[in-house]
Structure 1
Amino acid sequence: MKRNLFSLTLFSAILAASLSAQANPTMEKGGIVSTKDGRSLYTFDKDSKGHSNCTGGCATAWPPFAVTDASMADANFTVIKRDDGTSQWAYQGMPLYLYAGDANPGDMNGDNKNGVWHLVRSDMKPAAAKPSSGY
């Protein structure tokens, strides 16, 4: 009986650890952070921690990475409220976006677009907003 209880406890601990390791809404491959279905994620230099400045036409070209399950938030992946009231994922406080020009999983066509859009990398350090034009 004690062996079965120990085995069950060990199995539960291993399962909990593996689930928590996969809890956030993204995956990483080769240092690039993407959605679970492989779509590239981007940050925008005109944003600030916890606040998106991409609205209107910008948000059409660069759709916010919408939150469907806020319970997946962790130390790096947090939920921010946009000015329109919707929820958006953020990485290290910086709002995350998809790019309409990425047709397939793995596409990275938005990287360095207009000098203000950047792929999210797992070793990313939040940068201060840079003055620039365009989206």
Structure 2
Amino acid sequence: MKCLLLAASALLFVAPLAFAGSLPFSSAKTAKGAVLADAKGMTLYIYDKDSKGLSNCYGDCAEDWPPFLAKAGAEPSGPYALVTRKDGQKQWAYNGMPLYFWEDDTARGQATGDGVAGVWHVVRSTTQASSSGGGSW
């Protein structure tokens, strides 16, 4: 009976950790406020020239703004979806909008791509949302 209780207790601690790691998202504190980030804390961006479920950033654009590609077996959940790129790779999206990194962000918490060319925006938390673009989460 004691072994059974220990095994059950171990499952209670392991299961939440496994679930928490299933989506590669976190938040990062930046000069722009709290923003959506990958699991390493790198800021994620959306592109005004995309539409829900469709990326329009390829070639030179994708070199400057690398898409946030999903690992094999990734599963969407809630507002986090997967879109298929032209080459068949899966890219993470938030509320249908494909997500990207900015090549000039080199450390956790940087958000230097917000507002670039007037079409790139961080995804801000609800309390940090502004009219200058970006979503809320």
TM over 0.5: yes
Looking at both structures, which has the greater relative contact order when contacts are Cα pairs under 8 Å and sequence separation is at least 6? 1
Q: Identity, % of aligned pairs? A: 38
List 4+ stretches of structure 1 deviating above 4 A.
none
**What's the Cα RMSD here?**
2.1
List aligned pairs for 1:65-80, cutoff 5 A.
Answer: 65-80=68-83
Residue deviations 1:54-85 (CA, integer Å, cap 9, x gap) = 11221111111112243353223222111122
* Count of paired positions: 125
Q: Distance in 1 between matches of 2:90 and 2:83?
A: 6
Specify the alignment match of 2:109 in structure 1: 106
Query: Where in structure 1 are there 5+ consecutive unaligned residues?
Result: 127-135
Specify the alignment match of 1:11 in structure 2: 10
Contact in 2 for aligned 1:65/1:98 (Cα 8 Å): yes
List aligned pairs for 1:30-45, cutoff 5 A.
Answer: 30=29, 31-45=34-48
Contact in 2 for aligned 1:25/1:72 (Cα 8 Å): no
Q: Distance in 1 between matches of 2:17 and 2:89?
A: 30
Q: Distance in 1 between matches of 2:136 and 2:36?
A: 13
Residue deviations 1:14-55 (CA, integer Å, cap 9, x gap) = 321232123211212343121222221100111111110111
